[in-house]
Amino acid sequence: MAVFTQVSKTEAAALLSRLNLGQLTDIEGCAGGIENTNYFVSTLRDGEPHHYVLTLFERLSFEQLPFYLHLMKHLAGKGIPVPDPAADARGEILHKLKNKPAAVVNRLKGRSELAPGASHCAQVGAMLARMHLAGQDYERSQPNLRGLAWWNETVPVVLPHLTPEQATLLQAELAYQNHVAASASYEALPRGPVHADLFRDNVMFDQGQLSGLFDFYFAGIDSFAFDLAVCLNDWCIDHGTGRPDPERSRAMREAYESVRPLTAAERELMPAMLRAGALRFWISRLWDWHLPREASMLKAHDPAHFERVLRERLEPL
Ligand SMILES: Nc1ncnc2c1ncn2[C@@H]1O[C@H](COP(=O)(O)OP(=O)(O)O)[C@@H](O)[C@H]1O
Ligand SMILES: N[C@@H](CCOP(=O)(O)O)C(=O)O
């Protein structure tokens, strides 16, 4: 995990009590994650133990956060298994701790499946499609803050750290994605709230059944096809080589389409979206790797993985 900001027992207890979640019994910094400070906290309420996650947001602002937190509430209300932010007596779900924005959500059951098979991929595909449908009437709007504009801003920052060959690939792919984004097919892609980071470590399984999706803090309004591509690029890739696994890819895509069939524009642009998904995480990993932040327990992800995934996704010349 990353703990960028230390929270004392007293500070956590005061917040939990204000949210009427019970008396703090345990607090522990949690492993995994690279964006925010997360603590697992346990309480006793009416004699029963309850388990929550306390998050302090390190990059997102008080203005940006309502989009994510209310989206989680909206999806939870529609039966999608996502963390439900706890409200105070005034109904406010965004709080302040150590002068930072903070939230407390229920702790999901289960564990991440880091070596998924076709059944896991199918469950993720079907749940992603359900989530896209459930989010369609969500009224708030916020762009994907790690979308094309951010790629254009960040590529020049990371370029000095690359070999000439890597720099050529990164710039060429960015130019290609700018070109795709200006096309009529791209304009025709169905859009809505997307997770945009639904990797293996952001999904829980309990006894082989999907039990939760979390970490919505890269969500935004973007194309559903991009969201599916992000999932295919993580769940259905061989992490050793960066190569797509045909069986897992088919399982995820068919399960997605059994809930929400892809449109003609989505089918046409899926190869471009797979490249976009690889580019997005290559850029963010380069950025985290070469311009790291201070944090205890922070482990940056290897950018070379998404360079390999991108090369695999390029259509043969
Ligand atoms: N609602 C939750 N239920 C259960 N575990 C959670 C929940 N939220 C976070 N976690 C745990 O905390 C870890 C880090 O959370 P994550 O949201 O991925 O952090 P970051 O935003 O820093 O990337 C996860 O890998 C998971 O183990
Ligand atoms: N999934 C991204 C990193 C984002 O971190 P997360 O822990 O919030 O998912 C990657 O693998 O690069």
User: Which ligand has the shortest distance to the CA of 295?
Assistant: 1
Residues 75 and 180 both lie in one domain: no
Query: Are residues 97 and 7 in contact, defined by beta-carbon separation less than 8 angstroms?
Result: yes
Q: What single-letter DSSP state applies at residue 32?
A: S
In this structure, the chain runs to a length of 317
User: Does the Cβ of 214 fall within 6 Å of ligand 1?
Assistant: yes
Residues 173 and 242 both lie in one domain: yes
Q: What single letter denotes the amino acid at residue 190?
A: P
Q: Tell me, in angstroms, the distance from the centre of ligand 2 to residue 33's CA.
A: 7
Residues 6+ apart with CB under 8 A from 61: 101
ipTM for this model: 0.94
Residues 101 and 247 both lie in one domain: no
Residues 176 and 292 both lie in one domain: yes
Pocket of ligand 2 (CB under 6 A): 33-35, 197, 199, 201-202, 215, 281, 284-285, 301
Where is the domain boundary, 106, 138, 155? 106
Structure tokens at 299: 């482990």
Where is the domain boundary, 106, 135, 160? 106
For the CA of 288, the nearest atom of ligand 2: 12
Q: Return the residue whose CA atom lies nearest to atom 17 of ligand 1.
A: 215
Residues 16 and 102 both lie in one domain: yes
Query: Are residues 242 and 309 in contact, defined by beta-carbon separation less than 8 angstroms?
Result: yes
With respect to residue 173, please indicate whether it lies within any of the assigned structural domains.
yes
With respect to residue 276, please indicate whether it lies within any of the assigned structural domains.
yes
pTM to 2 decimals?
0.94
CA-derived radius of gyration, the chain: 20
Residues 54 and 174 both lie in one domain: no
User: Does the Cβ of 34 fall within 6 Å of ligand 1?
Assistant: yes
User: Does the Cβ of 38 fall within 6 Å of ligand 1?
Assistant: yes
Q: Return the residue whose CA atom lies nearest to atom 6 of ligand 2.
A: 33
With respect to residue 232, please indicate whether it lies within any of the assigned structural domains.
yes
CATH label of the domain that carries residue 299: 3.90.1200.10
d(CA 209, CA 298): 29
Place of tokens 């939870």: 76
User: Does the Cβ of 72 fall within 6 Å of ligand 1?
Assistant: no
Q: What single letter denotes the amino acid at residue 215?
A: D
Query: Are residues 231 and 128 in contact, defined by beta-carbon separation less than 8 angstroms?
Result: yes
d(CA 279, CA 285): 10
Residues 92 and 147 both lie in one domain: no
Rounded to 5 degrees, φ, ψ at 212 are: 180, 155
Residues 76 and 100 both lie in one domain: yes
- Residue 40 burial class via C-beta count within 10 angstroms: exposed 0-12, middle 13-18, buried 19 and up: middle
CATH label of the domain that carries residue 73: 3.30.200.20
Where is the domain boundary, 81, 106, 131? 106
Q: Tell me, in angstroms, the distance from the centre of ligand 1 to residue 131's CA.
A: 19
pLDDT tens digit at each of 317 positions of the chain: 467 899 999 999 999 999 999 999 999 998 766 679 999 999 999 999 999 999 999 989 999 999 999 999 999 999 999 999 999 999 999 999 999 999 999 999 999 999 999 999 999 999 999 999 999 999 999 999 999 999 999 999 999 999 999 999 999 999 999 999 999 999 999 999 999 999 999 999 999 999 999 999 999 999 999 999 999 999 999 999 999 999 999 999 999 999 999 999 999 999 999 999 999 999 999 999 998 766 544 578 999 999 999 999 996 64
pLDDT of residue 133: 98
Q: Return the residue whose CA atom lies nearest to atom 18 of ligand 1.
A: 33
Q: Return the residue whose CA atom lies nearest to atom 3 of ligand 2.
A: 34
Helix%, strand%, coil% for the chain, nearest 5: 45, 20, 35
With respect to residue 161, please indicate whether it lies within any of the assigned structural domains.
yes
The tally of domains found in the chain comes to: 2
- Residue 23 burial class via C-beta count within 10 angstroms: exposed 0-12, middle 13-18, buried 19 and up: exposed
With respect to residue 111, please indicate whether it lies within any of the assigned structural domains.
no
Question: Which residue in 175, 173, 198, 177 sits closest to 186, CA to CA?
Answer: 177
Query: Domain range holding 35?
Result: 9-106
Q: Strand pairing partners for 104?
A: 54
Residues 55 and 139 both lie in one domain: no
